[in-house]
Copies of this chain bind each other. A is one copy, B any other.
């Protein structure tokens, strides 16, 4: 993301401030319950400035969708590059989600709890986007190479993604008192027992 204004010190780019405020409010109160006035206040800009950078409210959500999916995709590509087999790749993805849940909870909320179709009807369901295709691909390759049991890759993905995100969700809802990395070993063991051959 390139800054096209000379602001380097103190003050921030209004566009970034708006996106930051919107992400926080959308994930906390929901898209519908967040008004432009709320964003205006949280981002410390005027209504006009918001409409200078974004066509309308939906376009803000759309930009967030784009940004977040892009960065998730990048992270997963990086993981696939650094780790050679399915075991290591999947484990790294669980670590990524657990870390993000603690360090950038709004990002994980945006991915796993927000219902995008309700306000971004032109976007496909998340399960059809690139990072999720990558996941199924990892499963498929894992099955082909014999690292993962012979099961329908879609069931394997569901077990992996469902278990992982359920843990994130419980943490975000305040049900889990301890940080997620405390549960990492148990979570990974459970997932891998489900997928490992033999």
In the complex, which residues 177-198 of chain A have their Cβ closer than 8 Å to any Cβ of chain B?
183, 186-187, 189-191, 193-195
> With A115-B30, A115-B113 as given contacts, are A167 and B155 in contact (CB-CB < 8 Å)?
yes
> Is residue A4 within 8 Å, beta carbon to beta carbon, of the partner chain?
no
Interface: A162 (CB within 8 A): yes
| Assembly stoichiometry (copies) | 2
For A125, list chain B residues within 8 Å (CB).
173-175
Give the distance in Å from the alpha carbon of A159 to the alpha carbon of B161 in the complex.
Answer: 10
Does B166 lie within 8 Å of A161, measured CB to CB? Answer: yes
The smallest beta-carbon distance between A156 and chain B, in angstroms, is: 7
Q: Cβ of B190 and Cβ of A151 under 8 Å apart?
A: yes
Within the complex, which residue of B169, B173, B191 is in contact with A194, where a contact is CB–CB below 8 Å?
B191
Q: Is A128 on the interface with B (CB-CB < 8 A)?
A: yes
Bin the interface of chain A by size. Answer: 35 or more
For A158, list chain B residues within 8 Å (CB): 163, 166-167, 170, 187
Interface string of A135-163 (1 = CB under 8 A from B): 00000000000000001101110110111
Pick from B31, B127, B183, B187: contact of A170, CB below 8 A.
Answer: B127
Cα–Cα distance between A165 and B167 once the two chains are bound (Å): 13
- Could you say which of A32, A128, A195 has the most chain B C-beta atoms within 10 Å of its C-beta? A32
A189 vs B159: C-alpha distance when bound (angstroms): 11
In-complex Cβ contact of A190 among B156, B161, B176 (8 A): B156
| A33 CB–B CB distance under 8 Å | yes
- Identify 25 residue pairs between A and B in the complex whose beta-carbon atoms are under 8 Å apart, listed by A's number: A32-B32, A32-B33, A32-B118, A33-B118, A113-B115, A114-B115, A127-B169, A127-B173, A152-B183, A154-B170, A154-B176, A155-B167, A155-B190, A158-B167, A159-B163, A159-B191, A159-B194, A161-B166, A162-B165, A162-B166, A162-B167, A163-B163, A163-B194, A193-B193, A193-B194
